[in-house]
Amino acid sequence: MSKLSLDRILQSQGFGTRKYCRALIEDGDVAINGEIQDSYKSTVDTDNLVLEVFGDEWKYRQHVYIALNKPGNFECSRKPSHHPGVLTLLPEQFTWRDVQPVGRLDHDTTGMLLMSDDGPFIHAQSSPKRHVPKIYQAATAEPVTPELIEQLLAGVQLHDEPAPLAALSCVQRGDKLLEIVLEQGKYHQVKRMLAAAGNHCSALHRSAIGGLTLESLGLAEGEWCFLEQAQLDLLVP
Ligand code: URA
């Protein structure tokens, strides 16, 4: 059992500053099990807690783990400069609780992006030591050839890398379409590997991370969902 004061609970869930959360409670906008809670000092057990704020139910979560089907023309950086940030695709509450992308996708790359407010989780998932396969569909400017696939599987040398980087798997899916599986997450890795192998990536989509696929989540472009433990378990190497 973990007990916290109601104002702290609301703040931890991203409802706003402590002052604002206290005002919400004092104004009678917060209920639990249909009972209005008007004292911000009262302590509440967070286990299986469901809050009602302005009449809407909100399940308490110590941390959130989110999958987003990222559309093109959104930036993953904290201070986006040329396109809107991916956080604008989520309810504002997640910005308040400092949800961040786990790794990055380029602004023009679409597909699965994980997001969380759990620092150790973000760190562990982004660690270069963590070899979780990521599946990409890469459209190419020039037709796919057997030599291109051979090169990507054998490893290509990128300018700032000490050793060649190889795809874990590489399968032709169309005249100008490849499915590439990588276990590293280097900057612009798919695009730079294709360029180093003499082709050019014209569009890129990430369809899966580990055993978690966008298809299994049923997310349309721009949609997001919470990930529960069984889905997080699919993200292990
Ligand atoms: N590789 C790239 O080149 N871009 C991405 O967004 C992801 C992987």
To the nearest whole number, what is the mean pLDDT of the chain? 95
The catalytic residues are 106
Q: What is the pLDDT of residue 21?
A: 97
**Rounded distance, CA 97 to CA 10, Å?**
10
**What is the dihedral sign for C-alpha 14, 88, 106, 169?**
positive
- Whole-prediction pTM: 0.93
The confidence score (pLDDT) of residue 194 equals 98
Predicted pLDDT of residue 141 = 98
Please state the rounded mean pLDDT for residues 8-34: 96
| pLDDT reported for residue 78 | 83
3-state percent breakdown (helix, strand, coil) of the chain, nearest 5: 25, 30, 45
CB 133 within 8 Å of CB 143 = no
What is the average pLDDT across 165-184? 97
Q: What's the CA gap between 114 and 99, in Å, rounded?
A: 10
Please report the atom of ligand 1 found closest to the CA of residue 182.
8
**All structural domains of the chain:** 3-59 (3.10.290.10), 65-128+212-233 (3.30.70.580), 133-209 (3.30.70.1560)
**Is the C-beta atom of 205 inside 6 A of ligand 1?**
no
**Burial degree of 16 (CB within 10 A; 0-12, 13-18, 19+):** middle
CB-ligand 1 contact for 106 (6 Å cutoff) = yes
Give the Å distance between the CA of 188 and the centre of ligand 1. 4
Whether pLDDT at 89 is above 90: yes
Measured in Å, residue 79 CA sits from the centre of ligand 1 at 19
For ligand 1, atom 3, name the residue with the nearest CA.
188
Question: Ligand 1 within 6 A of 105 CB?
Answer: yes
* Ligand 1 binding pocket includes 190 (Cβ within 6 Å): yes
How many other C-beta atoms are found inside a 10 Å radius of the C-beta of residue 167?
26
